[in-house]
Amino acid sequence: MEWKTRITDMLGCRYPIIEGAYAKQGSWKFAASVAKAGCHGLITATTPGTPAKLRESIKRCREAIEGSGGSFGVNISIGICPEPEKFIEVCIEEKVPLETAVYRPDALAPLIKEGGLLWMHKSARVKDAVHAEHLGADAVIVVGLEGTGFKQAEQMPTMLTTLMAKKMIQVPFVSAGGIGEARGFLGALAMGADGVMMGTAFMATKEFPVNSRAKEAIVKVDPFDLELRHRVIGTVDPKVYEEVLSLRDKVPWELWLSMLERVNLKDPDWKSPPPKWSEAEMIAKLRVVSLAAAFVDSVPTVKDFIDGIIGEAEALIDSYRFLKTR
């Protein structure tokens, strides 16, 4: 069947599925694997790390996916990516869709809009997505509590987030947070989303650039592991939250942002310097994955993973006899 939504129309991909951003692993090669499977891949700007290397990555990704039916863009994580304006200039010159995330995009919005970029903004609260829409975002991504990445103390579960987004947002929107298989994908579309984003689920694929130990750790996740559940869906202690907010103008901004991230992930050592782990170690220790790991039980290629979701979703649609009302 044809998976046509406002997001596939906007991005030019076959399936309404977008790759999550990954601070160190969001390479052009992995974005190309996702695009070649018919989805929208993302190069995370902090992965190539400099504007010149980002330009090179964009060119290589574009060549690699030609004629594949997929598409790709660039993620700029505000507060993590240094000098984001310089990376945005590259996107404008290369005419590549942009996804901003992590923090408020207000200061960058005029540059993005004047540059004529196709712009999506990702946020953890629907009210921030509404704000991005008012700033001129062409589409938004909302991440519910079940997801990982930069979390929010006021985040709501993915189902509620998706339904609220449907009610409050006019531009196309993408749902994320704990999605990693066909029913979650179809469910989000049924709730009104124009597409889904998957972060954790894509990490357990053959092409994802971390070692097999990290991928095996995701396969072995016990979704009932209390520590993981607490980190991902537990609520933030209001006193700790107040304490980190009170530090906002007292420590360098980047340090404050990483403290806030650790508080939101319920890291009891959030005041100590962050451990010097590689991202693969972080994954192996399950410090960053979401509960989408509950659905991971093998490490397929990206294409097999996506074909599996689409095939199962189509079979499900066919099996629902109540869909045929006449």
Contact 80, 24 (CB under 8 A): no
Establish if 263 lies at the interface with ligand FMN (CB under 6 A).
no
Q: How many CB atoms lie within 10 A of CB 135?
A: 17
- Binding to ligand FMN (CB under 6 A) within 136-195 occurs at 143, 146-149, 176-179
The residue among 230 and 246 lying less far from ligand FMN, judged by its C-beta, is: 230
Adjacent-strand bridge partners of 174: 141, 195
Shortest gap between Cβ of 35 and ligand FMN (angstroms)?
16
Contact 70, 99 (CB under 8 A): no
φ/ψ (deg, to 5) at 139: -155, 160
The residue among 171 and 283 lying less far from ligand FMN, judged by its C-beta, is: 283
Establish if 23 lies at the interface with ligand FMN (CB under 6 A).
yes
> Where do we find the tokens 């397929």?
300
Shortest gap between Cβ of 75 and ligand FMN (angstroms)?
6
The residue among 23 and 310 lying less far from ligand FMN, judged by its C-beta, is: 23
Contact 149, 80 (CB under 8 A): no
φ/ψ (deg, to 5) at 98: -115, 140
Establish if 21 lies at the interface with ligand FMN (CB under 6 A).
yes
Q: Looking at 5-13, 75-83, 110-118, 233-241, which segment touches ligand FMN (CB under 6 A)?
A: 75-83
Shortest gap between Cβ of 236 and ligand FMN (angstroms)?
18
Q: Looking at 27-35, 48-56, 61-69, 285-293, which segment touches ligand FMN (CB under 6 A)?
A: 285-293
* Alpha carbon distance 153, 145 (integer Å): 9
CA angle, 308 as apex, 302 and 313 as ends, to 5°?
130
Amino acid 192 reads: G
Establish if 70 lies at the interface with ligand FMN (CB under 6 A).
no
Q: Looking at 66-74, 261-269, 289-297, 300-308, which segment touches ligand FMN (CB under 6 A)?
A: 289-297
**Burial tier of 234 (Cβ tally within 10 Å: 0-12, 13-18, 19+):** middle
The residue among 98 and 143 lying less far from ligand FMN, judged by its C-beta, is: 143
Residue ranges with strand state E in 144-232: 173-176, 195-198
Interhelix angle 238-246/253-264, nearest 10 degrees: 170
The binding track of 103-122 with respect to ligand FMN, each residue x by CB under 6 A or -, is: -------------------x
Establish if 78 lies at the interface with ligand FMN (CB under 6 A).
no
Interacting residues with ligand FMN (CB under 6 A): 20-23, 44, 75, 77, 80, 101-102, 122, 143, 146-149, 176-179, 197-201, 279, 283, 288-290, 292
